Copies of this chain bind each other. A is one copy, B any other.
Amino acid sequence: MAVYTDVSYEELESFLAGYEVGAPLTFKGIAEGVENSNYYLSTGKGAFILTLYEKRVKAEDLPFFLGLLEHLAAGGIQCPLPVRNLAGAQSATLGGRPAALFTFLNGVSLRRPEAGHCAAAGTALARMHDAGKGFVLARRNALGHDGWAELVEACIPRADEIEKGLAQLIREAHADITADWPDALPQGVIHADLFPDNVLFMNGAVSGLIDFYFACNDAFAYDLAVMLNAWCFEPDVAFNVTKSKSLIAAYAKERSLSAAEREALPILARGAALRFLLTRLYDWLNHDPHALVRPKDPRDYSRRLRFHNKVRSIGEYGL
């Protein structure tokens, strides 16, 4: 959480000359987002977020991400809307990097969402899935189940440095999950990273969804499985079945879950736990001490994986 590319006021001024947003009243780097540089900007015409894309977001993916936000906003989803510049483009160059300007969303993300918040977020996810229909571009899930093998191989040799037995846990889970992965579930555009950080609330209601930089085409139910992991465990990694029940029920009320999707939830949840375990483990093992981001503890996700490994049916998630 830091600003990687320093933007001077003078650079900002020349960048904004290409937009119809007025002169800056406030311009501050904000500590948000995984590996982009983000600035809060206010002008006489409102508040904005300026994002500079650092190496992790590929320039060729920008039309998908920016186009998706425009598509979702047109479909009634509260998400950052890219502000087009005078040339009609959704992005331009700033500080040698692709950069885009977005409308600013009010709201705060919760650290300890309660069951009611899980329900509200579940409804928001289902609405996003519906609103994503008809979006013409597609993006493969680079961190989907067919991308895990590479991370497994990269992490296994040193996994036990982090936690005894972790290499075996990963290897077995990966083999099982890959063998049983359900490939025929309803698909569409998913967020793929809808953690509580990425949902803004105002007065208990969802006021916005943010950070779509893992969005891709994959099974809708996998998105729900990511949320089961991210929203329904307590800080001590105890599973809170009241939260999962609220989350799934609220989602299903907005977009009905097929029998196949319900049945697949346990394995999708295992897969989602493995995905975040692998990326956290990889980042932990390969952390550059000079980086401005502190890596997250992978063990939060090995414990979730162990929980889901024992789940036999969706009933254990409260339904």
Interface residues of A (CB under 8 A from B): 1-3, 8-12, 23-32, 40, 42, 104, 106-112, 202-203, 289-290, 292
Residues from chain B with a CB closer than 8 A to the CB of A40 are 28, 30, 40
Given contacts A2-B292, A26-B106, A292-B2, contact A111 B31 (CB under 8 A): no
Is A9 a contact partner of B292 (Cβ separation < 8 A)? Answer: no
Is A31 a contact partner of B2 (Cβ separation < 8 A)? Answer: yes
Residues from chain B with a CB closer than 8 A to the CB of A12 are 108
The listed residue (B2, B23, B104, B290) touching A289 by CB distance below 8 A is: B290
A sample of 12 more A-B contacts (CB under 8 A), given A42-B106, A289-B289, is A1-B29, A3-B31, A8-B112, A9-B109, A9-B110, A10-B111, A25-B107, A26-B104, A29-B31, A30-B31, A30-B40, A40-B40
Is B27 a contact partner of A30 (Cβ separation < 8 A)? Answer: no
Residues from chain B with a CB closer than 8 A to the CB of A111 are 8-11
Is A26 a contact partner of B108 (Cβ separation < 8 A)? Answer: yes
12 contacts between A and B (CB under 8 A): A1-B29, A2-B292, A24-B108, A25-B106, A26-B107, A26-B108, A27-B108, A28-B31, A29-B30, A29-B32, A40-B40, A42-B106
In the bound complex, CA of A204 to CA of B319 (Å): 62
In the bound complex, CA of A109 to CA of B12 (Å): 11
The listed residue (B8, B11, B28, B112) touching A30 by CB distance below 8 A is: B28
Look across to chain B and name the residue whose beta carbon is closest to the beta carbon of A47. B26
In the bound complex, CA of A32 to CA of B9 (Å): 15
